[in-house]
Structure 1
Amino acid sequence: MTVVTILGAGGKMGNRITKPLLETKKYQLRFVEKSEAGQARIREAGLQVMDLDEALKGTDVVIFTTPDALVRQISDEVVPKLDPGTKILFLDPAAIAASRVKMREDISCFVCHPTHPPVFSLLGETDPAARRDYWGGGLATQALVFAIAWGTEEEADLVETIATEMFAPISASHRITVQQMALLEPALSETLINGCVEVITQGLQKVIDLGVPEAAAKDFCMGHLQISIALLFEELNWKLSDGALMALKHAQGSLFRDDWAAIFEPENVLASVKQITGGDK
């Protein structure tokens, strides 16, 4: 039986992946958690917290579910203790893209990240609870991106299987590189998408402050947000109206800098992942 050690097992992501992995009955799971609150959550679930050194002995796979800002510190402690042949899995590309994890040639390293359930895929879910599983908490179907930082295809197959099981239900696992994953997150998702949505929320509040009733403004905003996504991502065989196209053209000049796409330049992506994982040091 494959031995899998989960670091940060008492946190939000550790808890998210534990249940589906337990349900497979394929793995011997070991749980490591430093915080007292996290340890209490693990014990409340009827599971045992293990000492780090004990958990790492003979483990096949180590999954880091720890915060990005702490990954370098934790990996500096963990990686030297690993047995040769151990496979490590990170749930975000930032630490690897920022070279925060020291490479050992006798272990292998992989990165995965769930896409979260796509907007329009949720409409196809038959369970009402699944239709509201926006994060991907085990009810709604989502996809996954997976990258080999270093290691063999045989090792990757094992770890990718674990990744798809712990984020199930999964519609597809897309093999990409670590650098490509960093373009998706943080650049595309956290910088661009979150930035645009934050501006939308500010715009909504602005019209409310200008006197539009809050309920009317929210209904109008949410409905138009959905139809705009459907039209601009060609989910519908319709086109924006002439008036909407004129407003869009004006928006591109007044809302965005001409060089906004520089967020995808390698040096800016590197600066972002370094900031996320502890700064320039």
Structure 2
Amino acid sequence: MKKIVVIGAGGKMGCRVSKKLMDAKRYDAYFCEVNEASIERLKAIGINTISKMEEIVPQADYVLLSIPDILIGKLSKDIIPLMKPGAMVIGLDPAAAYAGVMPIRDDIGYFVVHPHHPYLFNTERDEDGNLDFFGGKATQDVSCALYHGDEHFYAEGEQIARVIFAPVGTAFRVTVKQMGFCEPGLVESISAPLVYALKQAYEAFVAKGVPADALYSFLMGHLRVQFAITFGLIDARYSDGAILALNEAMSRIFKDNWLETMVNEDFVTESIMKITDSINKK
């Protein structure tokens, strides 16, 4: 059984992947954490043995980095030299690989995976009866990239991805750059501000006297239909009145060159450099 080590095992993502590894029993799993509150979170999910990084990393076949993007450059300089030849480091976000902040060794593999989370129209629930937004109960897809190393590392990385983010539907193979275009490019720099603006507009209409519960219900139902129409999930079209309102609003809300400005490799790269703090080291 191959050894896998989770660095930052008690963080938000770390706890989820650590529990998946513990429950799956597909790998000989070890968990590294230094934060006391995070260690308590691990104990709460049944992980009571915390390994020392400098002792377990040299034995590991896989080292999974579940640490903040801004720290990966600094910490990987301590972690990667400890790894044995033929091992593989796994990142859970493309930013560090995209920014090139990790030391590169030709005798180990570098793999990146990021979960897509369950679809917007998902209705599956967790063991507490809550809708599963992050994955773990509901099926989700993942994006995977081989950043550096021989091809066999990709197959091993995808296998691990299907365990730590189970249940997984499709594992899309992309490049690190393409994954960076997905996040932060699309989902953090474009869709998140749009959703945030939608919440601001919702609150502004509530302030004008519209009942909050009625407006929320109105919005959620219409969003479902609007996504279905706009992305071609159903054979339907907007009403003439809706098209008129949409076109009128687009020119008021968005600048003429917003796509060229936002869907731009230089902008995505700058964003990632800031996320990893590497922009301050150039």
Task: Name the TM tier (shorter chain).
Answer: over 0.9
Change (3 A) 1:208 1:273: same
Write out per-residue CA displacement over residues 74-119 of structure 1, whole angstroms, 9 at most, x where no aligned residue.
1111112211111001000011111111211111101000110012
Task: Please say if residues 93 and 181 of structure 1, whose CA atoms lie closer than 8 Å, have aligned partners that are also in contact.
Answer: yes
TM-score by length of 1: 0.94
State the alpha-carbon separation in 1 of the partners of residues 42 and 208 from structure 2.
Answer: 49
SS in 2 for 1:57: helix
Residue 263 (1) aligns with residue 262 (2): yes
Aligned-residue sequence identity (percent) comes to 35
Shift of 1:160: 1.0
Structure 1 residue aligned with 2:204: 206
Task: Please say if residues 130 and 140 of structure 1, whose CA atoms lie closer than 8 Å, have aligned partners that are also in contact.
Answer: no
State the alpha-carbon separation in 1 of the partners of residues 112 and 47 from structure 2.
Answer: 29
State the alpha-carbon separation in 2 of the partners of residues 168 and 89 from structure 1.
Answer: 16
Structure 1 residue aligned with 2:183: 185
Structure 2 residue aligned with 1:2: 2
Task: Please say if residues 43 and 49 of structure 1, whose CA atoms lie closer than 8 Å, have aligned partners that are also in contact.
Answer: no
User: Mean alpha-carbon deviation: is it higher for 22-31 or for 162-171?
Assistant: 22-31
TM-score by length of 2: 0.94
SS in 1 for 2:59: coil
The 4+ residue runs of structure 1 with deviation greater than 6 A are 126-131
State the alpha-carbon separation in 1 of the partners of residues 114 and 102 from structure 2.
Answer: 17
Change (3 A) 1:90 1:181: same
Extract unaligned runs of 5+ from structure 2.
none
Task: Please say if residues 88 and 153 of structure 2, whose CA atoms lie closer than 8 Å, have aligned partners that are also in contact.
Answer: yes
Structure 2 residue aligned with 1:141: 139
State the alpha-carbon separation in 2 of the partners of residues 87 and 130 from structure 1.
Answer: 37
Letter in 2 for 1:268: F
Letter in 1 for 2:84: D
Task: Please say if residues 125 and 132 of structure 2, whose CA atoms lie closer than 8 Å, have aligned partners that are also in contact.
Answer: no
Q: CA RMSD in A?
A: 1.7
Extract unaligned runs of 5+ from structure 1.
none
Residue 274 (1) aligns with residue 276 (2): no
Change (3 A) 1:269 1:46: closer
Shift of 1:126: 8.2
State the alpha-carbon separation in 2 of the partners of residues 22 and 95 from structure 1.
Answer: 26
Q: How many pairs does the alignment contain? A: 278
Task: Please say if residues 130 and 139 of structure 1, whose CA atoms lie closer than 8 Å, have aligned partners that are also in contact.
Answer: no
